[in-house]
Structure 1
């Protein structure tokens, strides 16, 4: 099957690279032409200037976009072309929005899956990220080999929207956990511990140590906020969780607090940088 890709951001670029290595990617599109041109130079994959052109020349279309608005506008723009096509949306958006879009695709003769990713761009590059899939189970076998080319960890969760709900479970925990790491790190430093001592506790000795503490605490220690997952995206995901929680009538007090921390980090100028930069709000607002 011919595979097309819409969206060449941090994650989309790596998805595309993995598909190229598997010999599957035939065409790409990105809203800003410069990224598409760069991808073309690096991988010799042709690019087009509209998302509709991707659909016309592909059997399976993968989208990796920034938010609900971007996914909605893209899906609505290609509805006239989706008959007989399969859409795999790997963006992290509202499950409610995704279900609405999948229904529209189905009404127009196509099939849509949600397939969000757990893991950083580094893990995705190494094919070690996790892909959580929601959509019609009877069609899953048709896309399995494509997703396997992107990452070796592919899990079918359930019907449309379920992959996204599973992803939000992860990001709820992740957002709260990294803000707690930032608070704990700052507490240790202000108490007089050396950076290396606090890092050793959080990474090696703590009963709450994890792969995330191994990844994010060194960034906090070195004030290295080069982006693995941007603060603005964590804030966006926690906002999605809040909206979904309201519909589900679920209390999420820890999410509410963590969301404010990431908003504060954005206000301090860390929006485009890694969300581990949340530690900076604890440092800034702890009086000397």
Structure 2
């Protein structure tokens, strides 16, 4: 059995690492904090640096917030790259720039290290239930090697192409999710201001062509006003920034994506950045209120 390293013990990373530990894998962990101490109690092994994780593991999994975080953990002082050796594999499950992903993969492949970008969709619920959607980019060989581990964390797992293609798929996913959350938020705001029963409106819509997983899950969160993340608005805005940057490089117009990105910026500006992205309904309400 291959030794595993897992770096990035945030809201989603903790349950993902927990599934690996529960399956009997020996998992080395970096930056264990009180909130993630339970992973060590359950059998995980705390390591004092990213380098130490990579030195002990055959496969290193990353689950980090943004492109600079991945670059620092991989190539910074005492980072993963310093502990790697030929034949090892890095699986980056973060959501980051497709362009940077290709560059990171090239640097590690030059040292004989495999690289798979395998970003996820499904949020905290999907992570806790080992039901994440995983979009993988890399060689057939690296994907086949990673698949038994990915299957412990997700259900819908697709090898979409070469390095960077997994991240491209995730950006596309985030465009659709962001626009749909915005649509649900506007529809429920409209219904609320019209005086309708939001629960009944949602029930009716769930039976028609407007039905979606986002209306089901996030629509209920909007009705209940339960906005604990989940997936934070500021992180979703970051993903849409990746889309905007790529669109600019391709001279591509993504007008609706730009609109939702600005709505998320407004949400961050009024203090909602660390709320779940379903809290976009609160940003719309704020924009709709008459000034005092």
More helix by percentage: 1
Aligned to 2:234: 232
Matched, 1:245 2:247: yes
Matched, 1:78 2:77: no
After superposition, the C-alpha distances for 1:261-284 in whole angstroms (9 at most, x for unaligned) are 111111121111101000012212
Structure 2 runs not aligned, ≥5 long: none
Task: Give the drift of 1:48.
Answer: 1.1
Contact 1:131 1:155 in 2 (8 A): yes
Structure 1 runs not aligned, ≥5 long: none
Distance 2:277 2:231 in 1: 6
Distance 2:207 2:147 in 1: 39
Aligned to 2:158: 155
TM-score by length of 1: 0.94
Task: Give the drift of 1:55.
Answer: 0.3
In terms of mean alpha carbon deviation, does 193-202 or 233-242 score higher?
193-202
Aligned to 1:222: 224
Alignment root-mean-square deviation, CA: 1.5
Distance 2:68 2:47 in 1: 21
After superposition, the C-alpha distances for 1:127-149 in whole angstroms (9 at most, x for unaligned) are 22111110111332222111112
In terms of mean alpha carbon deviation, does 230-239 or 32-41 score higher?
32-41
Distance 2:183 2:108 in 1: 40
Q: Secondary structure at the match of 2:271?
A: helix
Aligned to 1:6: 7
After superposition, the C-alpha distances for 1:130-178 in whole angstroms (9 at most, x for unaligned) are 1111011133222211111222322111100001111111110100110
Matched, 1:198 2:201: yes
Aligned to 1:102: 105
Task: Give the drift of 1:35.
Answer: 4.0
Distance 2:144 2:257 in 1: 36
Distance 2:185 2:57 in 1: 44
TM-score by length of 2: 0.93
Aligned to 2:178: 175
Could you tell me which of 234, 242, 267 is aligned with 1:265? Answer: 267
Aligned to 2:55: 56
Matched, 1:66 2:68: no
Task: Give the drift of 1:36.
Answer: 4.4
Q: Secondary structure at the match of 2:28?
A: strand
- Residues 272-283 of structure 1 correspond to what in structure 2 (within 5 A)? 272-283=274-285
Contact 1:113 1:134 in 2 (8 A): yes
Distance 2:126 2:80 in 1: 31
Distance 2:26 2:208 in 1: 44
Contact 1:5 1:25 in 2 (8 A): no
Could you tell me which of 112, 115, 120 is aligned with 1:112? Answer: 115
Q: Secondary structure at the match of 1:285?
A: helix
Count residues in correspondence.
Answer: 285
After superposition, the C-alpha distances for 1:162-211 in whole angstroms (9 at most, x for unaligned) are 01111111110100110111111111111121222332244x24412111
Could you tell me which of 138, 144, 149 is aligned with 1:146? Answer: 149
Contact 2:53 2:83 in 1 (8 A): no
